Structure 1
Amino acid sequence: MLVLFESPAGYAVFKLLDEKKLAKVEDLYENFSTPEAASQVVKLKQFEKFEDTTEALAAATALIEGKMGKGLKKVLKKIVAKDAHAELAVADARLGNVIKDKLNLQCVHNSAIQELMRGIRAQFESLAPGIPSKELTAMTLGLAHSLSRYKLKFSPDKVDTMIVQAISLLDDLDKELNNYIMRCREWYGWHFPEMGKIVQDNLAFAKTVKLLGDKTNSATMDFSSILTEDLEEQVKAAAEISMGTEVSTEDIENITYLCDQVIEMTEYRTQLYDYLKNRMQAIGPKPVGACRCQTHCTCRLTDELGQASCFNSTNRGKALFRALKARKDTPKYGLIYHASLVGQSNAKNKGKIARMLAAKCSLAVRYDALGEDGSAESRAISGTGKGRAKFDKYRNKSEVIQYDASMDSTLPSGGKKRKFNDDDEGAAPKKIKTAEEEGPDEATIKAEEESGMAEEETKQEPTTPSSEKKKKKKKKKEKQEEEA
């Protein structure tokens, strides 16, 4: 059996002298306690030295990715030419599969091979006498520095770190900006409280306060560059009858300085949002939503390996630990459930939409992180794959459904039912047609119907015993009168 050993100096191929020693894995490391004992277990057969650090770095990166470099391929071809039927012990199972597929060389990897590699690494200086110890130490240190620099340079986390920091700064800016504008509104509200209700936009409010200063200057001010004509008229009208207190010039100056800070922070927030949107457009589906998911997952490659259920429960850490301490039900939803788009739907459908959106996010992030297509065009994930995504069907449309009064009756109606209006209450009641106003046919039909109803009523009336006695008495009186 041959053993392939990768070192910072080059590739070494050893020959295992006694394969029976691999049967006892626990005692295998004792055979490498001294250089003399190690030489009785393995023997150096071939050594391919690296020319420089660049070649060593290329070989190391190829081995980390489970690939076979040019130098390793050259060494293995020599082995195949001499010992084609020999087994090759390797430290990496993925590398063994690649060697087996390309060179048809039988590779072995198990726990005994791992212990064998440990022993060879401990006594490598004595087993490979052609390399001085100082040179081997220098090559090991140089390769370690080069490999770390390579990983840092081409790390996929590098772009993610910039995005995570940017979205964190955006959240902090929103909090501070909200505190500043609320303080500005409350501070200036003592002087001109009516303007806070008229001007709702925060940036417009700060610009108006900076331009206006004292409310007594409103009559001569022109707010057309900040406010609309309607709002400008309302501000000027409210300033004339304002019930706010008088303030000094020094107070107005300090409020103006605060407005300057609000305007600068708002402009910087807009610039930061545009930068973040452009940066995320190439690697994420929805810029800000993907940023927030990525911030809580710390890395885009962590996102893509996560399941949809993990996506759905992102950012629920505080609520989760609070529920665990109180021994209550843990929260099912997190960042996606509380998104603005999901919040537009009904409470019954929020959970379903969050779960479906989490599944789509999981697919989209995997495609963006690992896909080779660099285009950032939005396309539908399911259904027609070539069709562009239609975002209108995901938005909530407020439809008012009116009640149809004609559906109350199942009988066929000749015309529409008259709708009841409040104006009809004072209207005069309709006249009832008499037999004279009606036609002769209608009058006869009604008379027949009334007579038929009367006959039915007489038939339905039950006969009582008192009426029968009266009839008998009448018959007796009639007979007596006839006899008389």
Structure 2
Amino acid sequence: MAKLFVLFEHAAGYGVFAVKEFEEIGVLLPQVESAVFDLGRFNSIVQLESFLPFKTAVAALENINAISEGIVSEDLKQFLDITLPRKRKKFKLGISDAKLGAAITEALDVQCDHMGAVPEIVRGIRFHFHNLVKGFTKKSSGIAQLGLGHSYSRAKVKFNVNRVDNMIIQSIALLDQLDKDINTFSMRIREWYSYHFPELVKIVPENYSFARLVKFIKNRKELTEESLEGLEEITMDSGKAQAILDASKSSMGMDISPIDLLNIEMFAGRVVALADYRKQLSQYLRTKMNDVAPNLAALIGDQVGARLIAHAGSLTNLVKCPASTVQILGAEKALFRALKTKGNTPKYGLLFHSTFIGRAAAKNKGRISRFLANKCSLASKIDCFSDEPSPIFGEKLKQQVEDRLKFYDSGEVPKKNIDVMKEAIEEHAQHVESSNLKKKKKKKKRKIEETEQNENSFNGSKIEAEDIDEEPVKKKKKKSKKLEVTAE
């Protein structure tokens, strides 16, 4: 019967264990199951053959990444080659992962097994590992596992730092929540302040301007001709400012106590601050979309593109969706209701918020949404897999949708897709060349500046040294002149 070795991957290193000879797998399995939690009995079945500790934390992370992907690392290959017997056919290597076993078989021509008693043996090794390796304790084993676990998770989270679509998902969710909250708070402040100055709502219907005016006006009776300049600055209209001033003098509103006005003013300030933050957040979302998915943003806009990514779960998940799924993302309830009742399926979901659907005629809305979904699917794939993302393809795809709208309206034949893509590829190549040239020029400038700074610092130190050397000489000359005069 062939001898059995078992490979165990630990956070501290690789271990190969020899399983003592047995007649049949079926005979060994009940023995292992009963001896898993008993160290003495388990030692009679399994014995440590060799152990290879990882030299650094970086080496441990590289090896664990290779194992998770089913790849035989160079360290593991050398370790197994040295540890295992030369006659490959006279033994089997027990392995916990079938994918890694196939890779080891291919690399070293070793017969691997992951069935039968092997899973139970691996379970026992994992349980007693700190007792099977000399100089190893349960505490050190736990520290090694915790450190490697943290670094492995951190590496997975930081898989691609430049394209973090998690930030887009969170920011678009916050943006939608802010829109709801600002609208709710604006309605509340309208009702609250209208007790005191009801005419202001009709003059200034915009929520943001209304909140700013409430914060500025406070008590309507205190408004004077001097306040007109401040009103004009907020409303950006001299006619509205004058109308507010006139309405404040003949208002039907009730008087409010100073403490109530103070609370209204504080609430108006919060609403204004939220609206300002909403503007900053939309700007942040625009910059993130330009970094992560510039083509999708150029095609359908920042917010609609971000909603598609958030609804799919990530940019990678959006790429996996076919164009027919992208078309109805966000309309799942309507789709399943239509399938259940055997009615008409929805033509669009989140894509309805793009300008193209609104501009299309009623009979062409379904056609343009299908075409737009196709282009969104292409744009997301380009963004996900391109090395140097740029909005060139997105602009070309947007022009294609514009041409298709013209075709539906006037019958003007648009360009073929292959011709448009060739133009985009040429422009992208030129863009990459120009960006590379700019980078080279910047590097040259930095080098020149650094050399100039080094030369200046060297010259400065030389001058200082000369000055220091000359000073005592001058003093010596002065002393010698004095001596001459006294001698005379």
Structure 1 length as normaliser, TM-score?
0.62
Q: CA deviation at 1:5?
A: 1.0
RMSD: 4.6
Which position in structure 1 is the counterpart of 2:287? 278
Which position in structure 2 is the counterpart of 1:350? 365
Q: What is the identity, as a one-letter code, of the residue corresponding to 1:74?
A: Q
Q: CA deviation at 1:122?
A: 1.6
Distance (Å, rounded) in 2 between the aligned partners of 1:348 and 1:330: 15
Conserved 8 A contact 1:313-1:333: yes
Distance (Å, rounded) in 2 between the aligned partners of 1:351 and 1:145: 54
Distance (Å, rounded) in 1 between the aligned partners of 2:290 and 2:409: 39
Question: What do residues 186-211 of structure 1 show as CA deviations (whole Å, max 9, x unaligned)?
Answer: 44556665654554433233334444
SS in 1 for 2:14: strand
| Candidates 169, 174, 181, aligned match of 1:169 | 174
SS in 1 for 2:119: helix
1:380 is aligned to 2:393: yes
Gap regions ≥5 residues in structure 2: 411-488
Distance (Å, rounded) in 2 between the aligned partners of 1:17 and 1:400: 78
Matches for 1:417-456 after TM superposition, within 5 Å: none
Give % identity: 26
SS in 1 for 2:52: strand
| Candidates 113, 133, 158, aligned match of 1:131 | 133
Which position in structure 2 is the counterpart of 1:204? 209
Distance (Å, rounded) in 2 between the aligned partners of 1:90 and 1:192: 79
Q: CA deviation at 1:72?
A: 0.4
Which position in structure 1 is the counterpart of 2:268? 259
Q: CA deviation at 1:288?
A: 2.7
Distance (Å, rounded) in 2 between the aligned partners of 1:336 and 1:48: 54
1:341 is aligned to 2:355: yes
Q: What is the identity, as a one-letter code, of the residue corresponding to 2:234?
A: I
**CA 1:57/1:211 → structure 2, altered by over 3 Å: closer, same or farther?**
closer
Which position in structure 2 is the counterpart of 1:60? 64
Q: CA deviation at 1:67?
A: 2.7
Distance (Å, rounded) in 2 between the aligned partners of 1:17 and 1:361: 61
Distance (Å, rounded) in 2 between the aligned partners of 1:168 and 1:155: 23
Q: CA deviation at 1:78?
A: 2.5
Q: What is the identity, as a one-letter code, of the residue corresponding to 1:246?
A: G
SS in 1 for 2:15: strand
**CA 1:21/1:40 → structure 2, altered by over 3 Å: closer, same or farther?**
farther
Q: CA deviation at 1:75?
A: 1.3
Question: What do residues 82-123 of structure 1 show as CA deviations (whole Å, max 9, x unaligned)?
Answer: 23566655433433444455x3525545544xx413324325
**CA 1:338/1:255 → structure 2, altered by over 3 Å: closer, same or farther?**
same
Matches for 1:391-402 after TM superposition, within 5 Å: 391-392=398-399, 394=401
Greater helix percent: which structure? 2
Conserved 8 A contact 1:341-1:395: no
Q: CA deviation at 1:305?
A: 4.3
SS in 2 for 1:377: coil
Gap regions ≥5 residues in structure 1: 382-387, 403-484
Which position in structure 1 is the counterpart of 2:429? none
SS in 1 for 2:393: coil
Q: CA deviation at 1:245?
A: 0.9
Which position in structure 2 is the counterpart of 1:118? 120
Distance (Å, rounded) in 2 between the aligned partners of 1:400 and 1:361: 20
Conserved 8 A contact 1:59-1:69: yes
Which position in structure 1 is the counterpart of 2:448? none
Which position in structure 1 is the counterpart of 2:452? none
Q: CA deviation at 1:350?
A: 3.5
Matches for 1:31-110 after TM superposition, within 5 Å: 31-32=31-32, 33-34=34-35, 45-51=49-55, 55-78=59-82, 82-83=86-87, 88-100=93-105, 103=107, 105-108=109-112
Conserved 8 A contact 1:209-1:259: yes
Question: What do residues 377-415 of structure 1 show as CA deviations (whole Å, max 9, x unaligned)?
Answer: 21327xxxxxx536355459799989xxxxxxxxxxxxx
Q: CA deviation at 1:53?
A: 5.9
**CA 1:141/1:318 → structure 2, altered by over 3 Å: closer, same or farther?**
farther
Q: CA deviation at 1:57?
A: 4.2
Aligned length: 384
SS in 1 for 2:123: helix
**CA 1:79/1:171 → structure 2, altered by over 3 Å: closer, same or farther?**
same
**CA 1:29/1:244 → structure 2, altered by over 3 Å: closer, same or farther?**
farther
Question: What do residues 335-362 of structure 1 show as CA deviations (whole Å, max 9, x unaligned)?
Answer: 4243233541334443444444445445
Conserved 8 A contact 1:204-1:226: yes
1:288 is aligned to 2:303: yes
Which position in structure 2 is the counterpart of 1:29? 29
Q: What is the identity, as a one-letter code, of the residue corresponding to 1:117?
A: P
SS in 1 for 2:7: strand
Distance (Å, rounded) in 2 between the aligned partners of 1:140 and 1:303: 41
Which position in structure 2 is the counterpart of 1:178? 183
SS in 2 for 1:168: helix
**CA 1:400/1:224 → structure 2, altered by over 3 Å: closer, same or farther?**
farther
Conserved 8 A contact 1:167-1:276: yes
Q: What is the identity, as a one-letter code, of the residue corresponding to 1:77?
A: D
Q: What is the identity, as a one-letter code, of the residue corresponding to 2:176?
A: D
Q: What is the identity, as a one-letter code, of the residue corresponding to 2:30?
A: E
Distance (Å, rounded) in 1 between the aligned partners of 2:270 and 2:127: 67
**CA 1:200/1:398 → structure 2, altered by over 3 Å: closer, same or farther?**
farther
Q: CA deviation at 1:30?
A: 1.6
Q: CA deviation at 1:268?
A: 1.2
Distance (Å, rounded) in 2 between the aligned partners of 1:124 and 1:186: 67
Question: What do residues 136-193 of structure 1 show as CA deviations (whole Å, max 9, x unaligned)?
Answer: 5334422331233123322338955544333332222111111222233444556665
SS in 2 for 1:154: helix
Conserved 8 A contact 2:198-2:252: no
1:389 is aligned to 2:392: no
Distance (Å, rounded) in 2 between the aligned partners of 1:318 and 1:192: 44
